Amino acid sequence: MKKIFSVALGIIAALGGFVDIGELVFNSQAGALFGYRTLWAVLIGVIVSVVLAELSGRVAIVAHKANFDLVRERYPRWLSTTTMVAGLAVCLITLSAELGGLGLILHYVLGWNEGFFTLVGLLIIVASSLLLSFNTIERLFGYLGLGLVVYLVAVFHHGPAWHQIGRGFLPSGGGPQYWYFIVGMIAAAIMPYEIYFYSSGAIEEKWTTDDLSVNRANSGLGFPLGGLIAASLTIVAAQQLMPLGITPDSLGTVLQQAMHELGPIAFYAAVVGAFAAIAGATIDSAFSCGYALAQHQGWPWGETKGIRGAPRWYMTMLAAAGIGFAIVQTRVHPAQLTEYAVIASAVAMPLSFYPIVRVSHDREVMGEHATGLLGRPMAWLSFAVICVVAIAGPILMLVTHMGALKR
């Protein structure tokens, strides 16, 4: 019963923690611009994220190796360093975007200076990172992130044409802007920091082979349920904003959709959910900066070791938070930072994830827990998807000027 309860809690946390500022921005804009036609990108992104999370968790459990441990051991020094720097840069940009998003939400709700609230957000993140346990951080922000379920409720409340939504899960064609959002939505569902955090978390929580079922449940059930929330953002935007010709250019517009459909209580639930989801992603990104550098350098790492046991990991994490705050203070809009983060993450994914896919197949390392004959094609197909996204993302960003072309 205790294990079932643990699995249930993990699924709920994964559900509430799946959405971050990437989905809030890209998925809502895509729904406003293209209606239901981009929903299949959410499906692809969720499938790939489930596969990569399960692989990374299983490798961490069996081989006791997190993402950048594998990068250090499996690549030549120059390539491992390049991969680490790319991963660290992506996590920093993501952290900046998430931190700016926290400031925007507090500014939108309370109306005071945005820069001040970004500082408040930074202090919340630092305090949570230093004072709360890894498990508490994961559960607390994941559970509060469930406030975003109001968007799923809004979908049903609106009474949509389900056959049209169903057609949205079938791939269709479009111009460069359409494909830019397709790539962005897939990449937003597979942000590297999520996998870095997940694989490192399996080691932080001292999972053993007895927890392989927990790993499968968290990735195989929690992530798809979180994907429903991500899809609901697109559907609600298609229902409310597309008919009016409005493209959401701020988190405020995204949050208002919940109020328009369900009233003020839903609005405040959406605010709490968005704040918790973005705050959780900010902490995950800060932790992942520490994981990337410490694992690559072979330093002691992890929240469970404490400051004395892993001082350089803590210093890296706190320095990353400070740098992220400094980037936000340059007045770059968080939505623009988010787009940079999503596309940059797409470029970094293949080098970061190749060792995980490779090691998961290695019977000398994984023994009986190596990926089977049925799982291997899915693993390599998922890797092929992220390679395509890595190539197409920067090209489409340049061609469309970050999606600025008209429909």
Contacts of 5-12 with CB under 8 Å at 24 or more apart are 6/214, 7/213, 7/214, 7/217, 7/218, 9/139, 10/214, 10/217, 10/218, 10/222, 11/217, 11/218, 11/221, 11/222, 11/225, 12/142, 12/143, 12/146, 12/222
233 Cβ contact partners less than 8 Å away, ≥ 6 residues apart: 19, 23, 24, 27, 28, 31, 151, 254
- What is residue 4's predicted lDDT score, i.e. its pLDDT? 59
Of 230, 264, 172, 272, whose CA–CA distance to 31 is shortest? 230
For the segment 390-400, the average pLDDT, to the nearest whole number, is 93
Domain boundary assignment for the chain: 25-240+252-400
* CA distances (Å), origin 227, targets 22, 72, 296: 13, 32, 31
User: What is the reported pTM?
Assistant: 0.92
Average pLDDT, the chain: 88
For the segment 116-120, the average pLDDT, to the nearest whole number, is 85
CB 108 within 8 A of CB 252: yes
- What is residue 161's predicted lDDT score, i.e. its pLDDT? 85
CATH number, domain 25-240+252-400: 1.20.1740.10
Q: What is the pLDDT of residues 89-114, one digit of tens each?
A: 999 999 999 999 888 888 888 877 77
Q: What is the pLDDT of residues 299-310, one digit of tens each?
A: 999 888 888 899
Task: Give the orientation angle of helix 21-34 with respect to helix 176-189, to 10 degrees.
Answer: 150
Burial label, 206 (beta-carbon count in 10 A; 0-12, 13-18, 19+): exposed
Q: What is the pLDDT of residues 44-97, one digit of tens each?
A: 999 999 999 999 999 999 999 999 999 999 999 999 999 999 999 999 999 999
How far apart, in whole angstroms, are the C-alpha atoms of residue 186 and residue 69?
A: 26
For the segment 148-155, the average pLDDT, to the nearest whole number, is 92
